């Protein structure tokens, strides 16, 4: 993947760590700017065009969670990789609920950070012709899903939900995000998402040895193989 023209915003109050990350990104041809707090991060994100934000959760003045929520509220939809010293599932879900695309727990290897950065940049670089998770394939051009090579019958709404989940996989997606991306400003019935998820499960997972759609209580859903589900 060509990354020489990519521009990353790094938000972390640990100056030494930020310097190390920025030097590592530069070695791989990625230019980066640094913000030491949440207020500065929002100013930079609003004034310049970035391809990715690497965002620490614990920031002075304005938390990383709040920064991410504000970016999404402002309509800034660039990928966000969240960094934190907290490894609890509840903390990760807060990050995803705020709009983060991926989550890394400190300390981490720079090689893994780079791999995640490249994955997010690739995901955001354009709309792929197809999405693949395990043996589930979504042909974007034909608007057709296949499981183990067999075509699935999906309603337009179920197709759109599946596209949202496969685009995010293996990261979880909150109910509110699915509702926003699939229904937009419309106000569906209160149980519409639940009904469509049941239909989508019937189409994708019924009769399969490996279940791909999983519910995360009090949050939303994740689409990935059971072998990777925690």
Average pLDDT for 25-40 = 93
| Domain extent for 82 | 6-125
Task: Answer yes or no: do 159 and 117 share one domain.
Answer: no
Question: In this structure, what is the dihedral angle of CA atoms 137, 143, 144, 145, given to the nearest 10 degrees?
Answer: 40
- For 179-187, what is the mean pLDDT? 80
Q: At residue 193, does pLDDT exceed 60?
A: yes
Write down the pLDDT at residue 158: 96
Q: Where are the alpha helices (DSSP H) in 99-174?
A: 110-124, 156-168
Q: What is the pLDDT of residue 180?
A: 83
Question: Rounded to whole angstroms, how far apart are CA atoms 21 and 15?
Answer: 10
Residue 187 has pLDDT above 90, yes or no: no
**pTM exceeds 0.85, yes or no:** no
Residue of 23 and 76 predicted with greater confidence = 23
- For the chain, what percent of residues have pLDDT higher than 70? 93
Residues 126-152 have pLDDT tens digits of 656 788 899 999 998 889 999 999 999
Helices (H), 74-189: 89-98, 110-124, 156-168, 175-183
Structurally, the chain folds into a number of domains equal to 2
- Answer yes or no: is 69 within a domain: yes
228 pLDDT exceeds 50?
A: no
Q: Are residues 104 and 135 in the same domain?
A: no
CATH number at residue 144: 1.10.10.10
Confidence band, pLDDT 50/70/90 cuts, at residue 207: very high
| Judgement on whether residues 21 and 41 belong to the same structural domain of the protein | yes
- Predicted local confidence at residue 126, as pLDDT: 60
């Amino acid at each position: 993947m060509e990354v020489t023209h990519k521009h990353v915003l790094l938000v972390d109050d640990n100056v030494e760590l930020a310097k190390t990350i920025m030097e590592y990104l530069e070695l791989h041809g990625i230019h980066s700017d640094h913000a030491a707090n949440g207020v500065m991060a929002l100013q930079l994100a609003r004034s310049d065009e970035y391809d990715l934000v690497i965002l620490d959760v614990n920031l002075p003045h304005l938390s990383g969670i709040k920064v991410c929520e504000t970016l999404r509220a402002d309509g800034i939809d660039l990928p966000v990789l969240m960094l934190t010293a907290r490894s609890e599932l509840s903390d990760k879900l807060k990050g995803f609920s705020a709009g983060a695309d991926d989550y890394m727990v400190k300390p981490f290897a720079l090689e893994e950070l780079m791999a995640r950065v490249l994955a997010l940049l690739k995901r955001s670089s354009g709309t792929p012709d197809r999405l693949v998770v395990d043996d589930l394939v979504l042909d974007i051009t034909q608007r057709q899903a296949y499981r183990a090579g067999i075509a699935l019958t999906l309603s337009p709404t179920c197709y759109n939900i599946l596209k949202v989940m496969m685009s995010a996989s293996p990261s979880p997606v909150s109910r509110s995000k699915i509702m926003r991306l699939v229904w937009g400003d419309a106000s569906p019935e209160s149980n519409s998402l639940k009904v469509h998820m049941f239909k989508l499960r019937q189409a994708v997972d019924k009769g399969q040895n490996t279940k791909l759609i999983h519910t995360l209580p009090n949050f939303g859903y994740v689409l990935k193989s059971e072998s990777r589900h925690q």
